[in-house]
Structure 1
């Protein structure tokens, strides 16, 4: 994770320089704002990865003499299939359509969003995926 953190931090510096040059040259506020927000996003991800790399064991990608087989094995816990992202996607699509066509669509999208959100958050507390 150390390498990825450094990559994102260097990307953040690149986007900050690009934002400054673009903002001074074009004087266009929307693109300048988008580049500045991209800088902020890269900075957040890079800081998180660099901070987390100090607390976890060194991975094979951080060792220059590592083989491919050194990174074999279990990489972590991944959720099994779930229907909750589908409910969140449908609810979000209806909510964004409500902004375009009328706020009344939010009355239909809010229950779908809440069902998907609560189902996803509490997925491991009940049902077949409940942990004992």
Structure 2
């Protein structure tokens, strides 16, 4: 993760330089603001990856003598099937339709989004961990 953190921080420096040049040259506030927000997001991701790399084990991508096969194996658990992203997508679509057709539609979309988030977070917390 160390190399990914450095890549994002390098990208943040480039975006910052682009934002300053763009802002001075064009004097257009929307694009300048978007570039400064992109700088902030790249900085946050870079610092997160750099901070996490100090606490995590050194991966194969952090070693110069590593082979491709060194990174083989199980990377984690990924859900093979889940209906929760569909509920989140429906809630998000309703929320964006609420911006178009009326803010009252957000009251309909908020429970759908909350049900989707709750279901996704606690999808595998039933069965042996459930209290009787």
Fold similarity call, TM over 0.5: yes
Find out whether 1:104 has 2:104 as its counterpart: yes
Q: Write out per-residue CA displacement over residues 1-40 of structure 1, whole angstroms, 9 at most, x where no aligned residue.
A: 1111000000000000000000000000000000000000
- Aligned pairs for 1:44-123 (under 5 A) are 44-123=44-123
Q: Write out per-residue CA displacement over residues 101-127 of structure 1, whole angstroms, 9 at most, x where no aligned residue.
A: 112322322221122121112112126
CA distance in structure 2 between the partners assigned to 1:21 and 1:131 by the alignment: 56
CA distance in structure 1 between the partners assigned to 2:107 and 2:40 by the alignment: 34
The answer to whether the Cα contact below 8 Å between 1:124 and 1:131 also exists between their aligned partners in 2 is no
> Hey, which bits of structure 1, 4+ residues long, moved more than 3 A?
none
Q: Write out per-residue CA displacement over residues 65-96 of structure 1, whole angstroms, 9 at most, x where no aligned residue.
A: 11111111111232332110110110110111
- For residue 10 of structure 2, what is the aligned residue in structure 1? 10
CA distance in structure 2 between the partners assigned to 1:131 and 1:70 by the alignment: 35
User: How much is the aligned-residue C-alpha RMSD, in angstroms?
Assistant: 1.6
- Deviation of residue 131 (structure 1)? 5.4
Question: With structure 2 as the length reference, what TM-score do the two structures score?
Answer: 0.91
Count how many residue pairs are aligned between Structure 1 and Structure 2.
Answer: 130
Unmatched runs of 5 consecutive residues or more in structure 1: none
